[in-house]
């Protein structure tokens, strides 16, 4: 019965995000759902239906993608209601998708449910490693950011005010991507994040060596 619901939710999300060109496309959603399904296997207390539902819906209400987030939240709630989710489950999903983003946790850390911690880990894993490198380049290109500026010292102090001020794509690794491994909630995600972060550190080192003609 879950399976049918997930297919209906996937279709709804695909229609919502279809045209996104900033790295929040449906392929990102699919990867986050798969990572979340993987992590939940090692977290027996977590409710898989809440995890998968929130993973599908986590970007649909993002203020970067929709103007009226309150209206979009209502729409998501009524979609879930139509699919016979209980009020309690709808509340659990909404709590996750309204609080899990990196930017909304910059100022105050929000205590997510175990289901929310899993979806947050899955979303953050998809921002690092080879996929993370590709998404950062794609995002930077979309907004016209330069790749790198060796005169600029890496800026790592990221607060809410500065988060949307674009620096360089390489700087994004210092302001966010290298930090994510330490912020993972679950043991499975921590292990995956360490591998992916080592790969990114190699990449940035190699990038700088080539930039400066060292090899």
What are the residues binding ligand ADP (CB under 6 A)? 23, 64, 101-103, 127, 132, 135-136, 139-140, 145, 166, 169, 172, 176-177
Examine residue 121 and tell whether it contacts Ni ion (CB under 5 A): no
59 vs 115, beta carbon nearer ligand ADP = 59
Answer for the pair 159, 106: CB distance below 8 angstroms, yes or no: yes
Beta carbon of residue 123, minimum distance to Ni ion (angstroms, whole number): 4
Residue nearest to Ni ion (CB): 123
122 binds, among ligand ADP, Ni ion, none (CB under 5 to 8 A by kind): none
Q: How far is CA 75 from CA 3, 62, 155, in A?
A: 21, 13, 39
Beta carbon of residue 87, minimum distance to Ni ion (angstroms, whole number): 25
Show contacts of 5-10: CB within 8 Å, 24+ apart: 5/49, 5/53, 5/83, 5/84, 5/85, 6/52, 6/53, 6/56, 8/83, 9/53, 9/56, 9/57, 9/79, 9/83, 10/56
43 binds, among ligand ADP, Ni ion, none (CB under 5 to 8 A by kind): none
Examine residue 115 and tell whether it contacts Ni ion (CB under 5 A): no
116 binds, among Ni ion, ligand ADP, none (CB under 5 to 8 A by kind): none
34 binds, among Ni ion, ligand ADP, none (CB under 5 to 8 A by kind): none
Q: Which residues 6+ apart lie within 8 Å of 168 measured at CB?
A: 140, 145, 146, 147, 148, 149, 152
């Amino acid at each position: 019965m879950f399976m049918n619901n997930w297919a209906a939710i996937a279709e709804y999300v695909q229609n919502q995000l279809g045209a996104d060109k900033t790295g929040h496309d449906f392929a990102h959603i699919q990867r986050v759902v798969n990572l979340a399904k993987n992590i939940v296997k090692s977290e027996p207390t977590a409710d898989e239906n809440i995890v998968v539902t929130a993973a599908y819906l986590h970007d649909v209400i993002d203020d970067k993608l929709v103007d009226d987030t309150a209206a979009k939240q209502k729409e998501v709630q009524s979609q879930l209601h139509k699919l016979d989710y209980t009020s309690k489950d709808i509340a659990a999903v909404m709590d996750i998708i309204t609080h899990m983003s990196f930017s909304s946790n910059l100022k105050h850390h929000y205590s997510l449910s175990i289901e929310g911690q899993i979806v947050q880990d899955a979303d953050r894993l998809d921002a690092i490693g080879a996929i993370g490198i590709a998404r950062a380049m794609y995002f930077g290109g979309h907004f016209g950011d330069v790749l790198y500026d060796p005169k600029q010292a890496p800026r790592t102090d990221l607060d809410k005010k500065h988060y949307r001020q674009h620096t360089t794509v390489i700087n994004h690794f210092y302001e966010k991507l290298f930090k994510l491994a330490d912020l993972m909630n679950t043991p499975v995600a921590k292990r995956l994040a360490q591998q992916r972060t080592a790969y990114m550190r190699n990449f940035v080192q190699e990038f700088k060596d080539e930039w400066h003609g060292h090899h």
